[in-house]
Amino acid sequence: MRNSPSYPVSSVDAALLLATLLRQEGPTRLTDAAARFGLAPSTAHRLLAALVHRDFAVQLPDRRYAAGPVLGSAGTLAPSSALRDAALPHLRALVAAQGESVHLVVLAGAEVRFVATVECEAVLRVGDRTGRTLAAHRSAAGKALLAGLDPEELAGMLARLAPAEAAHVHRELRAVRRRGFAVNDQATERGLTAVGVQVPGARDGRAAISLAMPRVRFDRDRLPVWVAALTVTAAAIGADR
């Protein structure tokens, strides 16, 4: 029998136990995983979010967690490249129609990961963000995704924020739910504005798209046109997946 390490590794140990559970027993709900190892739900959520961020886990559309690509489970979702390949023709068509860059993101814990960008041809444009991650509550696509979470899961996502900031995010998300779209007005980068909507039924994890532009070209009178185009594109991507 191997000896346990003499230094504190409780968080590491718990994360490894969770990863092993997902790999050996398949998709698991947050509350079940927490109860299995005697963890507080907030602790289990934090650890699972870290596993998702590093691709040791993925979150399914039904909110269960499953083993991710790093663990090599045959039961995991297809990699983000499959979603990217399915989405690219639709993203290119959207860019051609609207003349602004478009991003495709997936939810990775409390962050969004950019899995594809199609740039417009304008000299002044938003560039490729593929591979980058951003706090979900600051990006347009991320807010579109957060708005669809249940209250318990959303609380876990925002647990690290200061109370005042969390309250502000909750107000923003209520507006997103009413309108069906989210706006990022220079929250992630000075001079950049984006409009985002969720992709319905994306099996490769929760996904969203955003139309991103320099702030100088953002015109609120065009919001209905942009949102309609984004919604049609998101539905087409979801149908293909």
The residues with which 117 forms a beta bridge, in sequence order, are 103
Fold topology of 10-71: Arc Repressor Mutant, subunit A (1.10.10)
Q: Give the angle 140-211-135 at the CA atoms, nearest 5°.
A: 25
pLDDT in tens, 118-156: 999 999 999 999 878 899 999 999 999 999 998 888 988
Q: What is the DSSP letter of 28?
A: B
- Burial group, residue 96, by CB count within 10 angstroms (0-12, 13-18, 19+): exposed
The residue ranges of every structural domain in the chain are 10-71, 80-240
Which superfamily does 80-240 belong to?
GAF domain (3.30.450.40)
Over the stretch 187-220, which tens digit does the pLDDT of each residue have? 999 999 999 999 997 554 589 999 999 999 999 9
Answer yes or no: pTM beyond 0.75: no
